[in-house]
Amino acid sequence: MTGYAWTVSPGGVIASGQGTNNIQVTWPTPGAQTVTVNYANSNGCFAITPASLGVTVNGTPATAGTITGTATVCGGAQGVAYSVATISGALAYAWTLPAGATIASGANTNAITVNFAGNASSGNITVAGNNLCGNGTASPNFPLTVNALPAAGGTITGDASVCEGSANHVYSVPLIANATNYTWMLPAGTTVTSGQNSSMITVTFGSTAVSGNISVLGTNNCGSGTASPNFAVAVHAIPAAPVVTAVGNVLTSSTPTGNQWYYEGNAIAGATGQTYTVTHNTGYYSCEVTLYGCSSPVSNKVWVVMTGQQELQAGSFNIYPVPSDGRFTVSLVSQADDTFSISVYTDLGVRIREIRDIVVNGHADQLVDLRPAASGVYMVVISNSTSHIVKKVVVNR
């Protein structure tokens, strides 16, 4: 056959091949179209009826409409719904999501649910219709804000060893990203006295506090982050007050370790053994025990006379009136110039009054005023550089 004559419906354009048995057509317009052809034989006769082919020209999907759904979500949210109206000409739907967001259900449809990773990013959601001819124009951007969960808590700093009943222990953690509040976990028997919901707290360990771990995690409107590593705290009991016994001038504590010896309430340098030998200074001696940084109550007080020190002659000294209202006179007698001191102690060994540098040559009276001391029995120690005497006075107010 020769003389091929091709025609196409108005929705198409013959691009090449006219006059041959093979043409190429461009279809710029979708819809139902036709292609026809006639031809002649060697005698120049054309077919009575041209050959015809119906062609369906598919267009790309229509422009996608506006997406609906939740515009603000939390990192880690699951099953959040988004949808778009049906798109004309679409056989499938191509969704685009921010990093960290994945389609949980409804893929290739106009309604999906989305899972967000904890570290998902904010961004835009779009969708376009799709068919065999490709994607249509995508929807307008749907702005999405992803609020992140707080970051993991860092390393806690603070006191790792504390005493029962102690206060003002400070613990802190570096600022936690995205946290608006801080939740602290503490061992039983402890109380946050300041700084709750912040990165730095002050803690009191009660008398029933136990050893355990401290941890903290950040929180915000989206939930809680990962807790910090545990910070171990050892809570130590307050040692019992030691009992001091004396054999001569050798003092012994009932507690084998942690001792500190005191003279008249003042720590004796280097005196930390279980025993202490008094080599000078007549007076009251006591002991305190410290273990793991926790100090005991003070022991009983023991009166010790310095080795070689003699008592003054009692007849040379007098106290009157007895009893008194807290005011009394100490009468001092000396055959030569001498210097005396007067100290007054409670029955518990607490010194409440001291008068020094009383110079006597012959006879001298020294007024002592204990007011407002409570009624009771007090010990008056009169001493010079080498000797002492102890007398009792009664205060009756």
The stretch 125-130 carries a mean pLDDT of 97
- Tokens at 148, concatenated: 């992140």
Question: Which pLDDT value is given to residue 318?
Answer: 87
Per the prediction, the chain carries an average pLDDT of: 92
Residue-wise pLDDT tens digits, 84-101: 999 999 999 999 999 999
Question: Which pLDDT value is given to residue 216?
Answer: 98
Q: Which CATH class is domain 161-236?
A: mainly beta
Burial of 57 (C-beta count, 10 Å sphere; 0-12/13-18/19+): middle
Domain 310-395 has CATH 2.60.40.3080: yes
**Structural domain boundaries of the chain?**
2-57, 68-147, 161-236, 244-304, 310-395
Residue-wise pLDDT tens digits, 344-372: 988 777 789 999 999 988 888 999 999 88
pLDDT at 327 over 90: yes
Cβ atoms of residues 173 and 156 within 8 Å = yes
Largest pairwise CA distance in the chain: 174
| pTM, rounded to two decimals | 0.60
Cβ atoms of residues 298 and 260 within 8 Å = no
Round to whole Å and give the CA distance between 388 and 375. 25
Cβ atoms of residues 27 and 56 within 8 Å = no
Measured CA angle at 393 (ends 392, 397), to 5 deg: 155
Q: Estimate to the nearest angstrom the gap between the alpha carbon of 296 and the chain centroid.
A: 31
Inter-CA distances, 36 with 32, 42, 48, 191, 355, Å:
14, 21, 13, 93, 136
CATH code of the region 244-304: 2.60.40.10
Domains 68-147 and 244-304 share a fold: yes
Share of the chain above pLDDT 70, in %: 97
Given pLDDT bands bounded at 50, 70 and 90, which one contains residue 120? Answer: very high
pLDDT at 297 over 70: yes
Given pLDDT bands bounded at 50, 70 and 90, which one contains residue 309? Answer: very low
Show Cβ contacts of residue 241 under 8 Å, excluding neighbours closer than 6 positions: 289, 296, 297, 298, 299, 300
Question: Which pLDDT value is given to residue 316?
Answer: 67
pLDDT at 387 over 90: no
pLDDT at 312 over 80: no
Round to whole Å and give the CA distance between 233 and 73. 38
Highest mean pLDDT among 55-69, 298-312, 324-338 belongs to: 55-69
- Tokens at 361, concatenated: 């040559």
Q: Which CATH class is domain 68-147?
A: mainly beta
327 vs 308, more confident: 327
Measured CA angle at 127 (ends 94, 60), to 5 deg: 70
Range in 15-19, 309-313, 385-389, 393-397 the model is least confident about:
309-313
